[in-house]
Amino acid sequence: MKQVAIIFSGCGVFDGAEIHESVLTMLHLAQQGIAYRCFAPNIEQHHVINHITGEEQAESRNVLTEAARIARGEIQDLAELNVDDFAALVIPGGFGVAKNLSDFAFKGAESQVLESLKSICQQFNSKNKPITYLCIAPALIGHIHQPGTKATIGTDADTAAAVNALGAEHVECAVTDIVVDELQLVISTPAYMLASNIVEASAGIEKAIKRLAQLID
């Protein structure tokens, strides 16, 4: 059975991986009959946010340890990911993508990506293995793929401008739809960049995973 790698950026929308998007990714992969394995970098989070108050907390947490909560403990250090073992890659969104996997939340068009993540994504790309980016994760595309690779974060003008400045080609997209760069084998969907509820988020993610399944068949 072909399997897909999923890379999480922690646990929790404001400082890690968006939990709904992460679980929906696993659900829709399973519904397509695709096995998956979860990974996260073994690094400290940029910061910890109280998800009730939105306030920063005086503590530190580890991205891998936190992501293990979503994966029910079935997770590995990103350093252990062997691209040859997988047919494709999915990166769910959440602010962890823009704070832990990169510094896009703080530097926008001047941002940098975690080098280990960038290397892995480029390995998938060089081996013509598709990658799906959800929510804010398409902000990584300009760092990883060829200039002009199509990407979407939905319709937010400022974020779209930063995505374009990083080298991708932003395409406006409804929450329930996807954007596919057929040449680069890159799929993206807005998810909670636009979704007002879990049903809307699920619709776009389901479509993205179904397209991913077609590309790896």
Residue 217 confidence (pLDDT): 84
> Domain count of the chain?
1
Residue stretches of the chain with pLDDT short of 50: none
Return the closest-CA partner of residue 8 out of 35, 33, 45: 45
Which residues have CB under 8 Å from 155's CB, separation 6+?
A: 172, 173, 190, 194
Pairing type for strands 131-134 and 150-151 reads unpaired
pLDDT digits (tens, 9 = 90+) for 188-216: 999 999 999 999 999 999 999 999 999 99
Note the pLDDT tens digit of each residue in 122-143.
999 999 999 999 999 999 999 9
173 classed as catalytic: no
The number of beta carbons lying within 10 Å of the beta carbon of residue 108 is: 17
Q: Given this model, what pLDDT does residue 52 score?
A: 96
The pLDDT, as a whole number, for residue 202 is: 98
Catalytic residue among 11, 38, 121, 135: 135
pLDDT of residue 120: 98
Residue 47 and residue 44: Cα distance in Å, rounded?
A: 8
**What is the CATH classification number for the domain harbouring 83?**
3.40.50.880
Q: How far apart are CA 111 and CA 19, in angstroms?
A: 24
pLDDT at 1: 67
Give me the domain span that covers residue 53.
3-216
Q: What is the largest CA-CA distance in the chain?
A: 47
Phi/psi for 152 (5° steps) reads -140, 140
pLDDT at 210: 98
Model-level pTM? 0.97
